[in-house]
Amino acid sequence: MASSLTAENDLLQKAIKQEKSASGGFSFFGGRGEKYEKAVEMYRAAANAYRVKLTSIDDPEVTSLAIQQGGSALEAAARICTENLEEPLDAVNIYNEAFKLYHEVQPEKAATMLGMAIGKQKQLGRWRPAATNTETLATHYQQVLGNNAKAIEAYKDTLKCYKQDPAPALENKITLALSDLQALESDYRSAIDGYESAADKAQNNNLLAWNIKNYLFQAGICHLATGDMVATSRAFDEYRSKHAQFTSTREFQLLNDLKEAVESGDQDVFADRLFQFDQMQKLNKWQTTVLLRIKEKIER
């Protein structure tokens, strides 16, 4: 197995040897820095060789070893950039490379690498790239690792980055993604805050105004999911006063019909209203998931 990676392993060993030569003994006229730079180049070359090798092998064990060795080479390069060369931006780029290499086979390790990149970006005050990376990290936690709690933390971190370097459209996108996930984790109150905040901000934005209907529909579903019909009625009244255009939509009519069904404890009416709506306008996966939870809570 190891023999199939002989050339790549040789490159890695040469990089290790180069680093040792830079760290040992005395150095004059700045030669040590040049040696460390050379070591970084050699580590990255070794990592790239492992990456290229991945395209021509189908043995799972060799694939895993190539990713592990390539990743360790990138980690070593990033460490040298940080500790010996004081080149944090180069370290960020290398950690991003390591994330991509580890992504599917060692997803936890990948998350660690991206976290290292994000930490350095924050230290440098590079908030917009940090926001992009924290969004990527959130998606990684959600879709690859299936860890919604960690994904929620990462999305919140993304919003903090945008507070430092505002980008309203991007912040709105993250707020909605966060709200979707919070609702799936049954944190309906937080999800409601996100959706209603997005609706309020869209009120005076021609590019976003057409989305108000969707934001309030999802907020309304979350209100129903809380089981607090008094607060739900209050919220619906507020929608009438603040977002009058929403009250004439099919979505708002459905929300009111479903509220009545919940208040009367009628599962059949609830299911019938959903069915009729779905015939006219398909519910998405998120909406279906939360609405079914509400239906299941209704006593027959």
**Which residues have CB under 8 Å from 215's CB, separation 6+?**
176, 195, 196, 198, 199, 202
**Could you report the per-residue pLDDT of 49-105, keeping only the tens digit for each?**
999 999 999 999 999 999 999 999 999 999 999 999 999 999 999 999 999 999 989
Phi/psi for 124 (5° steps) reads -85, -5
Say yes or no to pLDDT of 23 above 90: no
Query: What is the CATH number that goes with domain 167-300?
Result: 1.25.40.10
Place of tokens 């590019």: 207
Which long-range CB contacts under 8 A does 248-256 form with residues at least 24 apart?
A: 249/213, 249/217, 250/277, 250/280, 250/281, 251/213, 251/214, 251/216, 251/217, 251/220, 252/216, 252/217, 252/220, 255/217, 255/220, 255/221, 255/224
Cα 104 → chain centroid: 15
Q: Where are the domains of the chain?
A: 167-300
* Average pLDDT score over the chain: 96
**Could you report the per-residue pLDDT of 180-202, keeping only the tens digit for each?**
999 999 999 999 999 999 999 99
**Contact present, 200 and 218 (Cβ < 8 Å):** no
